[in-house]
Structure 1
Amino acid sequence: MASRLGTQLGEWRATTAVAQSLADRIRMLLLDGRITVGERLPSERALAAELGRSRATIARAYELLEAGGYADRVHGSGTRAALPAQRIHRPSPAGDDVIDFTIASVGSTPGLHAATVRALDRVAGLLGTPGYSLDGLPELRERIAARYTARGLPTDPAQIVVTSGAMHALTVVLAAFGARGRAAMVEQPSFPHALDALRRTGHRLVPTPVTVTGDGGGWDASHLVDTLRTQRPALAYLIVDFHNPTGATMPELERARLAAVARTTGTLLVIDETCAELDIDRGWTPRPFAAHGPAILIGSMSKIAWGGMRIGWIRASLPQVRQLLDARPSIDLGTPLLEQCIAIELLDDMDALLARARTRLSAGRSAVAAGLAAHLPEVAMPEVPGGLSAWLDLGGTSSTSLSLAARDRGLLLPPGPRFSPSGVLDRFARIPITWEPEVTALACARLGDAWRAVRSGERPDSTRLAASAVV
């Protein structure tokens, strides 16, 4: 039987420096989350038999991993994946700090401090209450519901559950409606942490492809429908507005068709709307998905206000809200009141908030385009009408190899397979458009250096830099 590591290695092959190549590949699997810290690796004898290599080669690969801090080897207890203890700092264009391109999130909005000060008066009025808010403050739910109504989806505040961010919202949804052992349809590529959450709750992931936006890009509508009809998944997790990472937006007719088919297959549609209002110049504005049929919607303040603003929400039917609130106490007892009060202040000036985000994303997109043109002219900048990132097609170059080389140059870049439910997409890489232009310019220079190194056959340094989560 194939081991989990052997399965993750997939079609890995090496003709020279086999031990080093294998160590590099295992290290990359660990750094991008496909192998977890503390996970026990196969024995030298078992992995040698599985890969058709000598035991000495496997032993040497494990030694290289241990030397770099990526494995702990204890006699009698086997080998376990590990990470070097090293802090990753916020980048400075003038210094040698690491630039973390695993993060695709705009910096704090200029109005956040003032909103926080104003929110203190709201909090003062709540100090006489118990402080628990299982579904969220009424004033915040009213504002979130009003936003949906303004976007073309009439919503009652009772249909809103406030959460501590979008990932927390997904956790609550899966606690209430997850179906361990059943299929869950997901996009390929998709948001890595959502894929991880579905795996942890025992779902079998069934991918459907999404390609870069532009002519012929987006979802394969026939594949979507066929997958629903043949697999009959218990749920589907989809990002239909400014898809992360491709930036695609699903047309309204496809939304209506998908909603209709999901009703016939009994599939619960969970739609991630965290990027829905990050429009730069798309030219049209679709209605929220649930305007076309039953769906649970997940939203967040973190992508438009600040990553540290841990406020998200769920929009669902009233019966679903009751199930969500029944499940939530096993996870937590409510979202912090101060952050909810800050969110109320920010939502009262939502137009200005979105305008600032649009300006930031537009500048970031221009910086990525300029950086690619200057340092990676072989890689085309795709159309990016909004959202958080550009999904680059690297042609014949491996994003895993590029990621390793970039790490050696102080740039953390998640490889394409990190966004895949099945470990493919190695010819793609996600580049965020959310960083300051000067940071992006420096990052692209480092990326270009890494690109040339990979193309010339240079081997990565196997001892530098620890991992970071993809955001």
Structure 2
Amino acid sequence: MTSRLVSLLGADQVAGTTARELADRIRALVLDGRLTVGEKLPSERAFALEIRRSRSTTTRVYGLLEDDGYVSRVHGGGTRVSLPRDTWTPRDAVDDDAIDLSIASMDSTPGLYDATVRSLPRLAALRGTSGYSLRGLPELRDAVAQRFNQRGLPTHADQIIITSGALNGLNLVLAAIGRRGERALVEQPTFPHALEALHRHGYRMLPTPVDVGGWDERHVAETILSGRPHVAYLIPDFHNPTGATLPDPARERIAATARSAGTLLIVDETTAELDIDRGWAPRPLAASSPEVVTLGSMSKIAWGGLRLGWIRADRSLIARLLATRPSFELGTALLEQCIAVELLQDMPALTAHVRRRLSDGRAAVAAGIENIDGVTMPPAPGGLSVWLDLGAPVSTELSLAARERGLILPPGPRFATGGVLERHVRVPITLPPDRTALAMQRLGSAWEAVTAGRAPRLTEMSHAAVI
């Protein structure tokens, strides 16, 4: 069985690498949070067999990592991941001048303050209750259901559970229906924290490729029919990170294939409302099959600090979710729910703000990329980011060179399984234009260092979260 280390590295990706290069790749996994501190690595002998290299090579690799403080070795206790004391800093302690491109999220909508003020009487009226809200406030579930109805998916409030964000909703679904050892179909690339959640619940990944041009529908269907995954996690609208949107006919065919294979589709609609100028609006994927589970969130259309999302599912699954939820939380905060009720009553204002901000951010990134030779920016009709093509497998090198220049830029493999996608990086279009312009200057400087062969050897990369 392939170790997690080799799965992350990608056995095909390390062929021909020197011991130093291999150590650098492992160090990148540690610094990027894909290998966790304290995690046990395979023995030198087992590692050598997996990657088909000599024992002396893997001994040299672990020795280099130990010298730099990235692994610790105890006789009889194996090799475990560690961090040098002078390398790691908490996320909140990062240099204030650093620009963080690991977070693809805008600041709050201008209407948030007024919505908060308007929500206070609603909150005050709830003081006589217990304060716990396992299912969610009825008026908020009604508002979310109404939004689905407006988008062409008939929905009743009793098909909705309010959660503390979409990722919280995914974990609730997996806690209720998860099966350790089963397979999960995932897009490659995809949202990193969804991969982590699936791993945590014991799933084995079946990747299917997505690029800026969309999905390989034949590959999706063949993977579902041959692999019979228990679940499939998809982002069909303004896919994170490529920005692609799955057309309606393909949604219907994928839903039918999943239904025939007994695969539960978990659809992440966190980015569904982030349209700039796509020019068309698909129906929710759940309109193609009643069994589809849909996750949504206020974080991208209102504010990341508003930790509120929802699950839409059939009534039988809703009952299972409600039975499971008390084992790890007793509901979603009432203040956030009251604010969300107010915000959802004026979706045109919310979406107009999102469109302006994303359009300005996209233009700022495009202007910066024009000055970086060899890097290609694809069209971005909506979504949170652009999926840049570097033209060569240098994503990790670029990420590290960027960090030396005060730019936190997750490498392409952070969004994948198996250490692939080294020729891509995700750049958010969510920052204010002036901040984006400065980020692009730093990215250009890092690119010059990489292309001139002057990129620094792996040093500090303390961020593991990618949003």
TM-score (norm 2): 0.92
Q: Residue 82 and residue 332 in structure 1: after superposition, are their counterparts in 2 closer, same or farther (change >3 A)?
A: same
- Aligned positions of 1:128-147 closer than 5 A: 128-147=128-147
Query: Does 1:12 find its partner at 2:14?
Result: yes
Cα deviation, residue 25, structure 1: 1.3
State how far apart, in whole Å, the 1-side matches of 2:222 and 2:400 are. 37
Q: Is the 8 A contact 1:280 1:385 kept in 2?
A: yes
Tell whether the 8 Å contact from 1:184 to 1:203 is kept in structure 2 after alignment: yes
Q: Specify the alignment match of 2:318 in structure 1.
A: 321
| Partner of residue 426, structure 1 | 422
- Would you say the 8 A contact 1:88–1:98 is kept in 2? no
**Quick one: distance in 1 between partners of 2:406 and 2:15?**
27
Q: What is the alpha-carbon distance in structure 2 between the residues aligned to residue 145 and residue 47 of structure 1?
A: 51
Report the Cα distance in structure 2 between the residues aligned to 1:140 and 1:15, rounded to whole angstroms.
Answer: 55
**Cross-structure match for 1:238:** 234
Name 1:30's counterpart in structure 2: 30
Offset of residue 96 of structure 1: 6.7
Q: Structure 2 matches for 1:180-199, cutoff 5 A? A: 180-199=180-199
Residues 7 and 417 in structure 2, CA contact (< 8 A), matched pair in contact too: no
Return the match for 1:382 from 378, 382, 397.
Answer: 378
Aligned to 1:302: 299
Read off the aligned partner of 1:61 and give its amino acid letter.
Answer: L
- Structure-1 separation of matches of 2:461 and 2:185: 34
Match of 2:88 in 1: 85
Alignment CA distance shift 1:242-1:90 (3 Å): farther
Superposition RMSD on alpha carbons, in Å? 2.2
Change (3 A) 1:65 1:13: farther
1:271 match: secondary structure: strand
Could you state the TM-score of these two structures normalised by the residue count of structure 1? 0.92
Q: Which moved more, 1:4-13 or 1:192-201?
A: 4-13
Q: Which residue of 2 aligns with 1:343?
A: 340
Q: How much does 1:370 deviate? A: 0.5
Between the aligned partners of 1:44 and 1:179, the Cα distance in structure 2 is 32
CA distance in 2, matches of 1:451, 1:117: 46
1:282 aligns with 2:285: no
Q: Give the deviation of 1:221 after TM superposition.
A: 1.3
Is the CA contact (8 Å cut-off) linking 1:37 and 1:81 kept in structure 2? yes
Q: Tell me the amino acid that sits aligned with residue 112 of structure 1.
A: L
1:262-287: CA deviation from partner (whole Å, max 9, x where unpaired): 22111111110000010000000111
Contact 1:389 1:433 in 2 (8 A): yes
Whole-angstrom CA distance in 1 between matches of 2:282 and 2:2 = 45
Count of residues in Structure 1 that have an aligned counterpart in Structure 2: 458
Consecutive unaligned residues in structure 2, runs of 5 or more: none
Q: Take 1:429 and 1:462, find their aligned partners in 2: how far apart are those partners?
A: 17
Q: 2:219 aligns with which of 223, 236, 248?
A: 223
Q: Secondary structure at the match of 2:208?
A: strand
1:445 CA drift (Å): 1.2
Identity %: 59
1:15 and 1:286 map into 2 onto residues whose CA distance is 45
The 1:152–1:434 alpha-carbon spacing in structure 2 relative to 1, beyond 3 Å, is same
CA distance in 2, matches of 1:161, 1:55: 49
Q: Conserved in 2, the CA contact under 8 Å of 1:35 and 1:81? A: yes
Deviation (angstroms), 1:463: 3.6
State which of 286, 291, 302 in structure 1 corresponds to 2:287.
Answer: 291
Q: Please point out which of 343, 364, 368 is paired with 1:367.
A: 364
- Could you tell me which amino acid in structure 2 is paired with residue 266 of structure 1? G
How many angstroms apart in 2 are the aligned matches of 1:435 and 1:329? 37
- Please say if residues 131 and 337 of structure 1, whose CA atoms lie closer than 8 Å, have aligned partners that are also in contact: yes
For residue 350 of structure 1, report the CA deviation from its aligned partner.
1.4
- Give the C-alpha shift of residue 335 in structure 1: 0.4
Q: Which amino acid aligns with 1:367?
A: A
- Residue 218 of structure 2 aligns to a residue whose secondary structure is helix
* Structure 1 stretches lacking a partner, 5+ long: none
Task: Give 3-state SS (helix, strand or coil) of 1:287's partner.
Answer: coil
Q: Is the 8 A contact 1:185 1:206 kept in 2?
A: yes
Bigger CA drift: 428-437 or 54-63? 54-63
Instruction: For 1:264 and 1:63, locate their aligned partners in 2 and report how far apart those are by CA, in whole Å.
Output: 50
Per the TM alignment, residue 101 of structure 1 is displaced from its structure 2 partner at its CA by 0.7
